[in-house]
Amino acid sequence: MKNLFLPYELAMIARAKGFNDSCVAWYDNQKNLNLVEDGQLEDNNFILDLSDSTAINARQVEEESKLSCSAPLYQQISDWLREKHNLVIMVKKDWHQGLFVGWECVIEEQRDGYSDWGTYKTYYEALNKAIEESFKLIK
């Protein structure tokens, strides 16, 4: 399940860069991932009801002392980068002389074309690097 959500450090950067979409999970101050449960924090008005699903909003998270930040899904960040900042992130297999050598992360910018940010051992290392570098491109 942990590979569904952005790691804590990247979630904090996403919030600083303006990500404020509703999420179904959040990180506490000990960096533990917590799923929002139906009715959780309802008395403090921290839960939003969106199409019969329970979600928590990034700005609302920081108002509650025991919460650290919302935990976006990787897909949410990918969509947000594409829709709000015209950045498309891709992870693909990297081949050298017919042999798989790792996972390559690529960022497509509307104005500058493609940027290759290297090859990594795992898919999620490459994905996290693509997201991290995308955040640096956001003014």
CA separation for the pair 78, 63 (Å, rounded): 26
pTM confidence score: 0.77
Question: Quick check: is 78 in a domain?
Answer: no
Last residue in a domain, options 44, 73, 102: 73
Q: Are residues 133 and 94 in the same domain?
A: yes
CA separation for the pair 25, 32 (Å, rounded): 10
Q: What is the predicted pLDDT for the residue at 46?
A: 40
Q: Are residues 7 and 65 in the same domain?
A: yes
Question: Quick check: is 81 in a domain?
Answer: no
Q: Are residues 67 and 6 in the same domain?
A: yes
CA separation for the pair 133, 45 (Å, rounded): 34
Of residues 127, 128, 19, 135, the one with CA closest to residue 87: 135
Q: Are residues 64 and 120 in the same domain?
A: no
Number of structural domains, the chain? 2
Tokens of residue 39, six digits: 């009715």
User: Mean pLDDT of successive 10-residue segments in the chain (139 residues)?
Assistant: 90 95 91 78 38 50 63 96 94 95 89 76 96 93
Q: Are residues 11 and 68 in the same domain?
A: yes
- Boundaries of domain holding 104: 86-137
Q: Are residues 60 and 18 in the same domain?
A: yes
